[in-house]
Chains A and B, each alone.
Chain A
Amino acid sequence: MGQVKSVSDGSTIFALATAPGRAGIAVIRVSGPLAWSAAEVLSGPLPQPRVMALRTFRSDGADLDQGLIVVFEGSSSFTGEAQAEFQIHGGRATVGALLGALERLDGLRPAGPGEFTRRALDNGRLSPQQVEGLIDLIDAETEMQRRQAMNIVGGDAVEVVRGWRRDLITALGLIEASIDFADEEDAPVSVDDQVSDIIGDIRYSLRDAISAISLGEKIKEGFEVVLVGPPNVGKSSLLNLIAGREVAIVSERAGTTRDLIEVRCDLNGLPVTFVDMAGIRDTDDEVEKIGVERALARADGADMRLLLRSWDTGDDAPTSYQREIDMIVATKSDVGRVDGDIQVTVKERASVDRLLAEVRRRLTPVTQASVIAANQRQAAEFAAAADLLDDALTEAEGEVKAHLVRAASIKLSAVVDGVAPDEVLDEVFSRYCIGK
């Protein structure tokens, strides 16, 4: 393009693209006009673009490491520039050696923070929605968060929203054809049913996406699983074992836990916060009473409740209702048994692992719903669009209906990208034989 100067100075940059520290594999990314030649200097003849090849990387006659090399053309790379990626062994020394070798090459320099992304933006490789997704990707704490962020960066979500907008444009095209070409031969006479079908569908999709946003936030912030049960049923002991450290004061005397105690865990990529509640029982102790009230409130809002019971505290249901996702956990199974979905004892680590696996299994389906909106701002645009479509569905006059549908499509454009002025007319002309 020859005009990349404004931000990117035409230099070739490189950096470790994976997290520093010990890891199985490390990826070093090189981007800029010299990316391919740098890759060739270190690895010898290059494979076809976008095809991985095994190479021994050498510098100044010394073997640095054996790994995979892949190169991308500007048209298919993340940054929009020529790009090369080395996948090498993740040790500190190996990574350091390769980075050093790159730095010794003329015209290459280490990348500044966020520089790859900035180049991608400069070269028009990302939409604003993707940028927002990308920010989350960089912040992604767990694998699940990463996957959700990837969904948006990868453009799936962008495509979904574009699809809705395309459908709205189709609906608009139908309405507009019936208005602007009313006196011409092929203009549709009644389009109401077709239009209602289209905008009704999109409205449902938008509402779904809005509910999924809370899930999106959830994946970012983590699920909450509360431990509920009568005093001394073993909640704190169980939590301590989950956390692998002493977080709650555990004593033999009932009612020790007087506050909410949280442990944040990564269950194979699923961020989960376990919350230990104050034991739920009638009490005259003012301090404990407050604890109990808080516990009940929090338990109601949790994503999942572990309802603990044990042989010595009785098998009464610890709360008045149980949701499908909630689980009855029978504790102290090494001493005596009560009915429960799962038997657990702190004496046996494996029983706790089984519990955690079951928690993960029950939460996972919740995460399968696809998350379209990257954040609350986008969800707010969706909500506004859905409201406009509600009004459009009940409106009889075509020009007012069109007004509302157009406003809704503008809301969606704020999430993806601008509407070309002729988009609606394009739709009309491709569909009808218009004109005298």
Chain B
Amino acid sequence: MKQSNFDFDVVVIGGGHAGCEAAAAADRMSVSTCLITHRFDRIGEMSCNPAIGGIGKGHLVREIDALDGLMGRVADKAGIQFRLLNRRKGPAVRGPRAQCDRDLYRQNMQAEIGATGVHVIEGEVVDLLVDNDDIRGVMLGDGSIVRSAAVIVTTGTFLRGVMHVGKETTVGGRMGDRASVPLADRFRSLGLPMGRLKTGTPPRLDGTTIDWDLIEEQDGDDEPELFSFLSDGLSARQIKCGITYTTNKTHDIVRENIDQSAMWSGRIEGVGPRYCPSIEDKIMRFADKDKHQIFLEPEGLSDTTIYPNGISTSLPIAVQEEYVRTIPGLSNVVITQHGYAIEYDYVDPRALSSDLSLKCLSGLFLAGQINGTTGYEEAAAQGLVAGLNAAQLVKGSDPFAVSRAEGYIGVLIDDLVSQGVTEPYRMFTSRAEYRLSLRIDNADSRLTPLGLKIGCVGEARARAFSAKMDDLSGASAVLASLDAAPSTLSKFGFAVSQDGRRRTCYELLAQKDVRIDQLARVWPEIGDLDAKTLDQLKIDAMYSRYVDRQDADALELRAAMELELPEDMEVAAISGLSNELKEKIAARSPRTLAEASSIEGMTPSALLLIRAHASKRYRAAS
């Protein structure tokens, strides 16, 4: 450890979702950690909509939790409405989501940070200390210096942030917060590849001025699915959300004023997310739809503010006032803060290694929105990875990595550093090729062992995890040991062919339409097993046919990827590769197929050609 020369091992700049996870992760790894943020009381702020999780995002939260991160625990404490999305679909694509109380979230996050050994400094970082190609620390606004071996930048949208409302523009990173200008200047001087993105926010509403009688109600689930493997119940009072719709009148107003929209008029150069279109986009691009859904989400139990999810906008204030009142239930509504669009620079994440440190500046890590992602969960996952890796770097240990086959965290990081982004990157389950095995029910069995190995998992979780694994293996041994003749099974109403072959309980469980209570009638001893454990075994059994095949494919792929390429591979002689790719291969001289696959712009078919070429060379040689 180089601690003697430094004030801290790791400095984290920013107290948002990425910053909190980064600082807490580094702290769990027992390196001295400092978090620098403008104001302690803004730590854990939910600056966009007051919800955590969703399809794909909920998977990320579970995985953060499996590595003993904070987000799942905090969201469980702050959750005021829980819904498991895709409940009626297969278990692999179910995503937990929670409406959160903004204050409770912040308070609980601040308490979590307070309970760690993280040292928090309130201040503005104005410069990075760089010595040759190594980071040495940061300089604060008052001129003081904080030395550290690693720095993690999680500053969100602060790079050249510009906010738009109609034709008015303001420089800043978030409404009410100023942008970090000096650090941004310093950042630009590093000469990193940059891009520009945009995103929008809706006007916030005063809930006491909404006519709730005209609004559809949406309840949470009767049996809430919590995020954390360690949570055992709800903390906060639960509420209902509302659903309303735009009207033809709304659409007319938006259409009449479309050229005043900052986003629509082309005044914003950044690229916006297609999955989070502004109301302008929705109305102009999907003209045949006569209404669009709006979710009215309370921002908290003691806060009357309502977040109308679905009508983000950059129209002028007067137009916002007018169109909002054409929506049923909102005819007398008071807007507490108008919607705006924000555009900002991001660093092309292809400049990062998969540990999230800059390739060109050792020890400087980037996490969160600065890497072109959107969403609290995506930010937190990166913060976690950056925090763990900063600690690994300080300790001189190998980087921590999750593969695409092990988790959504792996998919996220790999997508970012190998493909870059073309719009604000959000997680979807369809991005995961191993989706059937990357489920919320097994996030712990996939990732907690990795966390235990590097030492980021605390004692309480380690105990709970090992108890759960024991339950699972115990129960699965029981299920495999119970069997019955087909004649017996048909008496209990199971449709099995009368071939005399005894079926095990586990075998029957794998059948989609077989329920555990049916099995318990044949074998009453199952009743003693934990219901959750059985559920998970059922899910495993259901997917095993596909997962096994996928595992075999993955194994084959891994074996193929380990194929060593001949040192004197004549890249030029590989027909079918583009010149561009040939030059990149020649420059990198990959030793294995895996290394070749990490070359930017590599395609599956190009890999096939390289593989065929290498094998041919070996055959010729032998």
Q: Assess whether B229 is interfacial by the CB under 8 Å rule.
A: no
Check A182–B55 contact: CB distance below 8 A: yes
- Asked if B237 CB lies within 8 Å of chain A CBs, one says no
Of the candidates A179, A399, A434, the one whose C-beta lies within 8 Å of that of B436 is A399
B497 CB-CB contact with A under 8 Å: no
Find out whether the CB atom of B295 lies under 8 angstroms from the CB atom of A417.
no
26 sample A-B contacts, Cβ–Cβ < 8 Å, listed by A number: A3-B580, A6-B571, A6-B572, A121-B577, A123-B579, A127-B605, A176-B430, A179-B55, A179-B430, A180-B56, A180-B428, A180-B429, A182-B55, A186-B286, A399-B89, A399-B93, A400-B543, A406-B433, A414-B608, A416-B605, A417-B605, A433-B282, A433-B289, A434-B277, A435-B310, A436-B276
CA distance A401 to B422 in the complex (A): 28
Q: Known contacts being A3-B579, A6-B582, A429-B275, is A400 close to B546, with CB within 8 Å?
A: yes
A434 (CB) vs chain B CBs: closest residue: B275
Shortest CB distance A197–B (Å)? 21
| B431 contacts A by Cβ under 8 Å | yes
For the complex formed, measure the closest distance between the CB of B257 and the CB atoms of chain A, giving whole angstroms.
Answer: 20
Interface residues of A in 1-41 (CB under 8 A from B): 1, 3-4, 6-7
**257-310 of chain B: CB within 8 A of chain A:** 273-277, 282, 285-286, 289, 292-295, 309-310
CA distance A433 to B310 in the complex (A): 11
> Are B576 and A7 closer than 8 Å at their CB atoms?
no
Is residue A183 contacting chain B, with contact meaning CB distance below 8 A?
yes
The interface residues of chain A lying within 8 Å CB-to-CB of B522 are none
Residue pair B605, A418 in contact (C-beta under 8 Å): yes
The answer to whether B579 and A4 have CB atoms under 8 Å apart is: yes
Report whether A418 and B604 are in contact in the complex, using a CB–CB cutoff of 8 Å.
yes
Q: Please, which residues of chain B bring their CB within 8 A of the CB of A425? A: 274, 428, 430-431
Interchain Cβ contacts within 8 Å, total number: 138
Give every chain A residue within 8 A of B603 (Cβ-Cβ): 417-418
B419 and A179 contacting across the interface, CB-CB below 8 Å: no
CA distance in complex: A7, B274 (Å): 42
* Residues in B lying within 8 Å of A, measured CB to CB: 49, 54-56, 83, 85-86, 89-90, 92-93, 97, 273-277, 282, 285-286, 289, 292-295, 309-310, 415, 419, 422, 428-431, 433, 435-436, 512, 543, 546, 550, 571-573, 575-580, 582-583, 586, 603-606, 608-609
A124 within 8 A of B: yes
**Can you name the residue of chain B whose Cβ is closest to the Cβ of A433?**
B286
Residue of B nearest to A432 (CB): B286
Chain B's closest residue to A397 (CB) is B90
Nearest-neighbor residue (CB-CB) of A80 within chain B: B579
Q: A180-B56, A182-B89, A183-B55 are in contact. Are A128 and B578 (CB under 8 A)?
A: no
Please determine whether B56 and A436 come into contact, CB atoms closer than 8 angstroms. no
On whether A436 and B309 interact (CB within 8 A), knowing A180-B56, A425-B428, the answer reads yes
Which residues of chain A have C-beta atoms less than 8 A from B579's C-beta?
1, 3-4, 6, 122-124
Contact with B along A357-397 (1 / 0, CB 8 A): 00000000000000000000000000000000000000011
Contacts A6-B572, A435-B273 known; list 16 others, CB within 8 Å. Answer: A4-B579, A124-B579, A176-B428, A176-B429, A179-B93, A180-B428, A183-B85, A185-B293, A399-B92, A399-B93, A400-B543, A418-B604, A419-B604, A424-B430, A425-B430, A429-B274
Q: State whether the Cβ of A402 lies closer than 8 Å to any Cβ in chain B.
A: yes
> Quick one: which of B54, B83, B430, B546 has the most chain A CB within 10 A?
B430
Closest to B586 in A: A6
State A176–B277 Cα separation when bound (angstroms).
Answer: 18
CB pair A3 B583 closer than 8 Å: yes
> Please, which residue of chain A has its CB at the minimum distance from the CB of B439?
A399
Shortest C-beta distance, B482 to chain A (Å), equals 26
What residue in chain B is nearest A172 (Cβ atoms)? B430
Which residue of A has the minimal Cβ distance to B276? A435
Asked whether A118 is an interface residue with its Cβ less than 8 Å from the other chain, the reply is yes
A181 CA to B55 CA, complexed, in Å: 8
Question: Quick one: which of A309-352 are within 8 Å of B by CB?
Answer: none
Q: Kindly state the separation between the CA atoms of A119 and B550 in the bound complex, as whole angstroms.
A: 39
Residue A421 at the B interface, CB < 8 A? yes
Answer yes or no: A422 CB below 8 A from chain B CBs: yes
Give chain A residues whose Cβ lies under 8 Å from the Cβ of B90: 397-400
Contact of B86 among A4, A124, A182, A435 (CB under 8 A): A182
Structural contact, B576 and A126, CB atoms closer than 8 A: yes
B419 touches A421 (CB 8 A): yes
Residues of A with C-beta under 8 A to B282: 433, 435
B545 to chain A, nearest CB (A): 9
**Contact among A403, A410, A421, A433 with B431 in the assembled complex (CB-CB below 8 Å):** A421
Q: Is the CB of A421 within 8 A of B415?
A: yes
- A-side contacts of B54, CB under 8 Å: 183
Known: A121-B575, A131-B576, A180-B428. A6 touches B93 (CB 8 A): no
Docked complex Cα distance between A3 and B583 (Å)? 8
Whether A7 lies near B436 (C-beta < 8 A) is no
In the assembled complex, how far is the CB of residue A7 from the closest CB belonging to chain B, in whole angstroms? 5
Taking a contact as CB atoms under 8 Å apart, the answer to whether A128 and B275 are in contact is no
Chain A residue contacts of B310, Cβ below 8 A: 185, 435-436
Q: In this complex, which of A7, A128, A424, A436 has the most chain B Cβ atoms within 10 angstroms of its Cβ?
A: A436
Query: Measured between alpha carbons, how far is A416 from B550 in the docked complex, in Å?
Result: 22
- State the CA gap A176–B429 with chains docked (Å): 8
Residues of the B chain whose Cβ atoms lie less than 8 Å from the Cβ of A183: 54-55, 83, 85, 97
